[in-house]
Structure 1
Amino acid sequence: MNTTVQLEERILTDPRQFRVLTGDRPTGRLHLGHYFGTLHNRVRLQDLGVEMFVIIADYQVLTDRDVADDLTGHVEELVLDYLAVGVDPARSTIFTHSAVPALNQLMLPFLSLVSVAELNRNPTVKDEIAHSRQSAVSGLMFTYPVHQAADILFCKGNLVPVGQDQLPHLELTRTIARRFNDRYGDGTVVFPEPDALLSSAPLLLGTDGTKMSKSRRNAISLAADADETARLLKGARTDSERHITYDPAARPEVSSLLLMAALCQNRTPEEVADDIGSAGAAALKKTVTDAVNEYLAPIRARRTEYARDRAFLRRTLREGNERARAVADATLTEVRAAMNSHYR
């Protein structure tokens, strides 16, 4: 597997050699942590000329939930967030799981290439199961890494932006691709073994000092207005020390707020801390609020404009689904031919 440094050099030299698969589950509006964690990088790769497939993983909502509430609304909210941050449907294919049958059909041959033991010891699956909201683990949850492999390989994605915790999923995808090629390729490479583009994105804590999360109601949503942002940040957890310093180990909540302001102002957290000095938590929160609202203002304005044209949202998704289906159908045809199960 190539290193992230090597991959970045190759992207700058020849971005057209890469096809990226990335995406989100439609479980609510995206927030500032998503933006600096993944969305900003997607737009960067798109603008460099990398071919992007952005999946709205609506089937995967069912992995740890008994009911997918307001799925249509959540899907539209995701499309709005994507468009607002700069994902361009003319250059990036935005699509949903459920609209691409051939993608999901790849799960069957892929499942034959992995053992139950391999699925059972996947650390990401173990973590998902531990935090599952269901009383029993569904089969879909158990096979989640194989479904994710189908997401990546249906379009022959060869580059996947991931965090360190997602590496086991990607390694299983590489294993599936390798085993399919060995078993059915007859000397040819049907699927690439995708590389991981490791994220160096900083971790932003939520306003309660824990991981920023949609479900914990501690996140600054991209769709939030300036007043809501101010209210949320006013209640953000800090500490009792008046002098503001950047020390992630000893002062995680204060440091996360400093980092949030720094990212929005394109400065270092230390510079932001030096400006605030001994002015205390109130000054810190005002600095962060002003920085976040100023940074998100154009994104929120675009989001409002797109929200007025629901027909455009539906057309974006319809056209993206059509493109994804064409790619998936071609891949499934190739898979059937390789497996000698093409009966036409």
Structure 2
Amino acid sequence: MTTMTIAKALTAGLRRVLEENPKSLLIGEDIGRLGGVYRITEGLLADFGEDRVVDSPLAESAIIGTSIGLALRGYAPIAEIQFDGFVFPGFNQITTQLAKMRARAEGRFGAPVVIRIPYGGGIGSIEHHSESPEALFAHTAGLRIITPSNANDAYWMIQQAAACQDPVVFFEPKRRYWLKGEVDTENPAPDAFRAQVVREGADATIVAYGPLVPVALAAAEAAAEDGRDVEVIDLRSISPIDFDAVVDSVRKTGRLIVTHEAPTFGGIGGEIAARVSERAFLSLEAPVMRVGGFHMPYPVAKVEEQYLPDIDKLLEALDRSFAY
């Protein structure tokens, strides 16, 4: 076991990918000499050279288009988008081209492109630097979408993403980059596309992913002081969603709260609520509760804490659930 931050775990995972697959390479703005805005690729240029750690122009559409071309020629590119709000110049190519490649080829070849996107708020930043656009990508068939919440998952999930023959959008919770945790570099983490129960419980279930998993765990600990035994599930994969894990938990606890930083309206939580209502309706003791951001542009840093889901909002949702 080695203690690392999520940021350093990602660096170590990327290094291992580059070492083990000579066809892999990194491409993005300022990822070479600077090491990326968050220094995730720091040191990799010196070890692997400019052919495999490529500083691109400031053009997200060019980054994605080049990555698609490289994948079609047998390479395995990992593209970095500096911030969540910057991905949209490349959104058209991701959703209309990259996502369709494998189906268009009837499986004759894959599209092994990983797109790394730091996402979410809580860093006191400006417009277009704190968004959570995961639902926009999840609506597009052909893309796999995953997000780690801890250092061990970060280390292994980036490697699992790089090994996937489908395109993977890899959302990195930027406000958790400095969160430390133990990393087992010998024994792989579970399949990146499966959820994990990170806290057992019997009275209610909280489903979270990425930056809100620590918040969900803290809320569960606070609820325990009131005698409520709350189970917490780290979704890990946003597309596909491991509905079996969620449904199994709800059948045990009878209550479900889903939380994410993205706006509640049109968010991943609505899809989870609908599926659970279909598959576990008779097990529910209360309606599924959703806790997310407001349906508005991400606010200025001065008031972002009022926008983001926190422990109090999750506890309030638990209170509403137990009121039924």
Structure (1 or 2) with the larger CA radius of gyration? 1
Higher relative contact order (CA 8 A, sep 6+): 1
Length-normalised TM-score, structure 2: 0.25
More strand by share: 2
More helix by share: 1
Length-normalised TM-score, structure 1: 0.24
